[in-house]
A and B are shown apart, each in its own frame.
Chain A
């Protein structure tokens, strides 16, 4: 069987909308276009019913009460609402926030913004495998810590934090606990009835739903209160004003329903593909897997090919769509801050590729990728003065480089 290129291996950037999801959405654009807030006619009632049905589907995937789900425009907005909303509401209790250096920018920058308006923050470094050390986390909490935010699944390296243990520490200390779960839904089981989590952010488009829609879980027992960040018509119990995007919400509900029903089988299949990819690459000389390989979602393989620069590698393998930890690609010259936080050297961070596998990835695509990677790494290493020095037995750390 032949493969169609380019091959999409960037499922953590976004996923295609599942055709079943797209199909479910369309009638809510063309036929059932009512405003779910319209209480006076059947157009509104139909839309409201669809919204509430979707809310139930989102709640079911994470074992929450539908009344604990607030619609937002995506995980970035959910993170903003959770962190700013809780920090501001409870600022009387304290003005210190704890988060992790490897969080998504939507968390880090939100916390930075709170620092600008008078909060203090601790950005805890993870261990070299990407996981948070529980004792270090406990030690970072202070009497005036009001909120902690730790992501469930890391977007770059796919490691899964021990949210239950971290949440228990927060509970002991009376700290509100927010979890960014944008990369986790459909990949790891989430049970909010058991997990000591107060706020959790979700996104639709990382789980085969449409872009532009997300949700925030806000615990009812014990009740967590937030200061709204978007003011207006008082939608979503006043927590997030703005006309609900019925078709997007329907899409998210359908995507989360499919995730709930299929994740077990799907993850087993994806794990086989990821292990096949890893097996095909790991015997290349000087390759390093970034992040813990066990406590990790099966979808992610982040790997550094030493002495090969990431952007040129991505260019060499343009038949596959992947991401690089060398942020040259995003017009700055900084290597990935996530890999740097793990203590990876700049050069290994610059040499990293993130493969993320998903629902529509095939074995043929994985085999094609392995072949292509092996060929191109060989070619680029022929071009690399660092590889030549390594082959000559020169320790690159002993060289005086002229930083520029």
Chain B
């Protein structure tokens, strides 16, 4: 299968690989996919007090397109507000990376990872409010 240059670039030089402290209240962690399906993405975002994403990290088990999709979204997430982050759609990833139809699920997974990370962050911050 021929990969686009952008997929190859992200695959060979993945951006923002790593792990943030998942217990940090400013960090949201999303883990989506399943090993049995051949792809698992872990995406983490760290927000500052102004609600802006100042860091994003990922680790992905999956094909080149899955790795590239998650690498790309970490780049996009940085500097965005949570609302802006929630607007990122898989179709934009497909377009940017020129993913073929059989790889569209990789972009869907990346979008799901963003949503999962945002939900985790929200869940972490909500109980604190409820307790107050």
Contact = CB atoms under 8 A, between A and B. Distances in A.
A333 B34 contact: no
B64 A404 contact: no
Interface string A299-321: 00000000111111001000000
Nearest to B106: A328
Nearest to B109: A404
Interface in A28-46: none
Contacts of B109: 404
B67 A404 contact: no
Interface string A325-360: 010110101010000000001110010000000000
A265 interface: no
Given A312-B63, A385-B60, A388-B59, A350 B105 contact: no
A80 to B, nearest CB: 29
Contact of B60 (A333, A347, A383, A404): A383
Interface in A364-404: 382-388, 396, 401-404
B102 interface: yes
Contacts, number: 91
A342 to B, nearest CB: 16
A383 B17 contact: yes
Interface residues of A, number: 29
A333 B38 contact: yes
Interface stretch (B39-47, B80-88, B89-97): B39-47
Contact of A385 (B36, B40, B64): B40
Nearest to A388: B59
A382 B37 CA distance: 20
A55 B55 CA distance: 69
Contact of A403 (B37, B41, B66, B112): B37
A345 B14 CA distance: 28
A382 B14 CA distance: 11
Nearest to B42: A385
Given A309-B66, A350-B38, A404-B109, 19 more contacts: A309-B38, A309-B39, A310-B38, A311-B63, A312-B11, A312-B67, A326-B63, A346-B35, A346-B37, A347-B36, A383-B59, A384-B61, A385-B42, A386-B40, A388-B19, A388-B59, A401-B36, A404-B105, A404-B112
Interface of B: 1, 3, 11, 14, 17, 19, 31-42, 59-64, 66-67, 102, 105, 108-109, 112
Interface of A: 307-312, 315, 326, 328-329, 331, 333, 335, 345-347, 350, 382-388, 396, 401-404
For the complex of A and B, list the 6 residue pairs with the smallest distance between their C-beta atoms, beginning with the closest.
A401-B34, A346-B36, A347-B35, A385-B42, A311-B63, A385-B59
